[in-house]
Amino acid sequence: MAERSPLKRNQLIPAGYKTRKYLEQISEMPTAVSLFSGCGGSDAGLIKSGFEILMASDINDFAGKVYSKNMPEVDFVVSDIKKIKSFPRADLLVGCYPCQGFSNGGLREAERGINYLYQEFNRALQIIKPKAFIVENVSGMRRSNFIHLFDSQLKTFAESGYKVVWKVLDAREYGVPQERTRLFFVGIRSDLDVDYEFPNPTHALPGELSPLPPCPTIRDAIGDMDEWPEGEFDAQPFHWYYMSRNRYRGWNETSRTIVANSRHISLHPVSPPLKRITTDEWVFAHDGPARRFSYREAARLQGFYNDLKFPDEIGLKSRYRVVGNAVPPPLFAAVAGALPDIF
């Protein structure tokens, strides 16, 4: 493969990066294929890091529609990964295969079939033979009952010809105003004989003494938005399970983890704080209107660079779902931006 002349890794692409005209002005951009792409959090980060995405794919039709609404220049394939038999050649392969089997909010069943989708990612890896790959998943994969699957992935990718490193990263340390830790595998093709080093944090954690700028707060992310956006938040009653934990964070704090279930997403700071009564029981500190974050606010708290657009046919719960399942773009951009100069 001919040597490429990509953008500098720390060069940010202007707001108009989504247009094909702009892409055509950049010669020899490094290319990527994205699998288990969701609504495009990882891929927004890739584009910000200077990659052109040749193909993206996900089995979720709703996610695909949101992705294509926001990144129409990318060839998006809605399909079960097992049915995709060919892939374009690319410099980088990325994948965020589903995490329900490992997640704190999932069933935590080690032998669920969904936990073995890394084998399909590896099949694509063997076909494309990219110079590098990036995998993102939940940090719960390191728990003792899943460690055999964690080790199996490392072994599988190494046998496919890649030098693999891993690390759990905190999204807040990369400018995402949300408590979210994620596990990353990064592999560099062994014949290139170079190593990958994870990026240093760009932001300080709340309360941390550091020369770095503080992580943005909820106010920084959504303070300019309507406090009561009609029709954009889940208005169901706060049931006992919701009130079994503290789901409140103030304006000057970072958000709790943005989840995919609209009924379980955290409270907006306009709501009264919660106070603990007994184990697994919380109540509002005072009477007053309360609501959950809206799906648009959730997207802001995930760190999307531009406000996401949603097709009209996508319902409220599905909007929450695709946003909650997304990868924070700044976190993925940091990981991709730290790749060595091999493209």
CA-wise closest residue to 38 among 58, 8, 17: 58
Q: Which residues contact 224 (CB under 8 A, 6 or more apart)?
A: none
Pick the catalytic residue from 39, 96, 99, 215.
Answer: 99
DSSP track, 315-328: -HHHHHHHHHTSPP
Cross-strand bridge partners of residue 321: none
**Which residues, other chains included, contact 120 with Cβ-Cβ below 8 Å and sequence gap of 6+?**
35, 81, 82, 97
- Tell me whether residue 215 is one of the annotated catalytic residues: no
- In the chain, % helix, strand, coil (3-state, to 5) comes to 30, 20, 55
Helical residues (DSSP H) of 101-257, grouped into ranges: 118-128, 147-159, 218-222
| Per-residue CA distances from 85 to 32, 36, 161, 170 (Å) | 17, 15, 21, 35
- Cα 302 to Cα 331: distance, rounded to the nearest angstrom: 10
Catalytic annotation, residues? 99
